[in-house]
Amino acid sequence: MTELRVVDVTEEQLDSVWRVRIRSFGPGGDRDEWKKNARAFIADRRILGVVDGDELIAAARIWPFEQWWNGRSVPMGGVAGVVVAPEYRGRGVGSLMMRGVLQRCVEKGYPLTALYPATTVLYRHLGYEFGGGQYKFSLQAADLRTLGGSGTAVRRATVEDVDRLLELATASNAAKRTSGPLIWPRTEILSWLEDEDTFAYVAEDGFVVYRWSDGDLVVDELVAGSETTARALWATVGSGSSIATTVQAYCAPFDPIHLLAEHEAQGDARIVRWMLRLVDAPAALAARGYPAGAVLDLDLRIDDPELPANSGDWHLSIADGSAQLTQAEPSDGALRLGPRGLAGLYAGTPVAALRGAGLISGAGAADAALDAVFGGQTPYMLDYF
Ligand SMILES: CC(C)(COP(=O)(O)OP(=O)(O)OC[C@H]1O[C@@H](n2cnc3c(N)ncnc32)[C@H](O)[C@@H]1OP(=O)(O)O)[C@@H](O)C(=O)NCCC(=O)NCCS
């Protein structure tokens, strides 16, 4: 083994990345389609690899997402396709590459990064912690069919509607002060609208995107600005009930559909959890939203060996829905935390749980205020990446 290096993956290395992917995730997918998508990542320096001499032995890519946090969107690097060739595993190659990924997130100016972990160990070592989940519920198609809303105009969406869908999703996430959902790059949304196996319908103040999967219908996203629109869009999906018994829906655990459908939705056995990390603590805290009226003034001591710019003594001041993290003098009363505690706090994990797991310490009197500032709606994502 020569000295291993983190590199930007080139067009010539894509076949090697594909080979490692198949050995990591199993066969499947369309190689040419995958290569076409990968080129966009190459062009934007968002696909990294590790080489041993000339041989590419690991790869990972970074999606340029925005993620909603209490109704404000924050740039987030979504890490995906983390793969190491089997013969190189267990020797620190994954960690080396993920350090390169974190540095690239710094360079790209993403204050946050998130990922779906196949194993938490690697990512926890690098400062990621659980941020939220992707929830899938099974609804009865027949229930949805009879939800009504027939007075609401619903039409098939086309590629011309891409900006309208983005506007509607933005307005909905801002108004509902959601935490967790993603904004995908516009080109991805266009490709879904172009895909004949994905169905999109739009109303005045909402839309639905759904498809077939193994005889069930699957709702990938449903946005509704009013009860009548929610009824009309769910009923559009439910109109398939003569063929599909079940509609699987990716939605928030507190989505209004749980209050509208006659039969209780079955939560699927597994909530797929995603992990979060703050790349740039001052920027991440300043960019997100906070509950109106929440007030906090607290000294922090952050210890972040992987991203030392986050380390040090800080003062966190939150008022009028916005936050500032400024450098401060050391304080004995400071809340002490590392990147995992910071990620958990940011995601609204109850402070008692973070203390219980040893992820934060100190400043015990501030717990109720911290929960009020960072807690709130359960963070969720609709999409896997
Ligand atoms: C997961 C994967 C990327 C790890 O790569 P790697 O080069 O073996 O990782 P490292 O050697 O840097 O290991 C870092 C830490 O993670 C741990 N780790 C690695 N793989 C693990 C696994 N499968 N289960 C539990 N822990 C694991 C290591 O033990 C090490 O922790 P330690 O220092 O406390 O011992 C690699 O096994 C792989 O490609 N797997 C198949 C694809 C996959 O699952 N990708 C992840 C998608 S999110």
170 and 257 fall within a common domain: yes
Looking at the structure, tell me whether residues 140 and 266 fall in a common domain: yes
Does the CB atom of residue 384 touch ligand 1 within 6 A?
no
Residues 143 and 266 both lie in one domain: yes
Question: 53 is written with which tokens?
Answer: 């001499």
Number of domains in the chain: 3
Pairing of strands 335-337, 296-302: parallel
Residues 260 and 151 in one domain: yes
Ligand 1 atom closest to Cα of residue 58 = 39
Pocket test for ligand 1, best of 4, 62, 89 (most atoms within 8 A of CB): 89
Question: Which CATH number belongs to the domain containing residue 160 in this structure?
Answer: 3.40.630.30
In this structure, the answer to whether residues 215 and 89 fall within a common structural domain is no
- Is residue 124 domain-resident? no
> Closest ligand 1 atom to the C-alpha of 89?
8
Determine the pLDDT at residue 364. Answer: 85
Please tell me if the CB atom of residue 114 comes closer than 6 angstroms to any atom of ligand 1: no
Length of the chain: 385
Closest by CA to 219, choosing from 227, 228, 158, 206, is 206
Closest ligand 1 atom, CA of 84?
39
Residue 289: Cβ within 10 Å count: 20
The verdict on residue 172 lying in a domain is yes
Locate the ligand 1 atom nearest the alpha carbon of residue 123 and give its number. 16
Q: Are residues 176 and 262 in the same domain?
A: yes
Would you give the distance in Å from CA 281 to the centre of its chain?
18
Residue 122 Cα: closest atom of ligand 1? 16
Q: Kindly give the confidence (pLDDT) of every residue in the chain, 385 residues in length, as a single tens digit, with 9 standing for 90 and above.
A: 679 999 999 999 999 999 999 999 999 889 999 999 999 999 999 999 999 999 999 999 999 999 999 999 999 999 999 999 999 999 999 999 999 999 999 999 999 999 999 999 999 999 999 999 999 999 999 999 999 998 999 999 999 999 999 999 999 999 999 999 999 999 999 999 999 999 999 999 999 999 999 999 999 999 999 999 999 999 999 999 999 999 999 999 999 999 999 999 988 767 999 999 999 999 999 999 999 999 999 999 999 999 999 999 999 999 999 999 999 999 999 999 999 999 999 999 999 999 999 999 999 889 999 999 999 899 999 999 9
User: Is 183 in the same domain as 104?
Assistant: no
Both 150 and 101 in one domain: the answer is: no
- Asked, for residue 379, whether it belongs to a domain, the answer is no
- Which of 63, 82, 115, 119 to mutate for ligand 1's pocket (most ligand atoms within 8 Å of CB)? 119
The finding on whether 4 has its CB within 6 A of some atom of ligand 1 is no
The domain of 75 spans: 4-110
Residue 147 forms part of a structural domain:
yes
Is the Cβ–Cβ distance between 52 and 20 less than 8 Å? no
Final residue of a structural domain among 110, 128, 153: 110
Q: Say whether both 260 and 146 belong to one domain.
A: yes
Whether 95 lines ligand 1, by a CB cut-off of 6 Å, is yes
Spell out the SS3 assignment of 216-257: EEEEEEEEECCHHHHHHHHHHHHHHHHCCCEEEEECCCCCCH
- In this prediction, residue 267 carries a pLDDT of 81
Could you tell me the CATH number of the domain that includes residue 323?
A: 3.30.1050.10
Among 75, 94, 110, identify where a domain stops: 110
Residue 380 lies in a domain: no
The finding on whether 119 has its CB within 6 A of some atom of ligand 1 is yes
User: 311-348 in b/e burial notation, b at 16+ Cβ within 10 A?
Assistant: beebbbebeeeebebeeeeebeebbebbbbbbbbbbbb
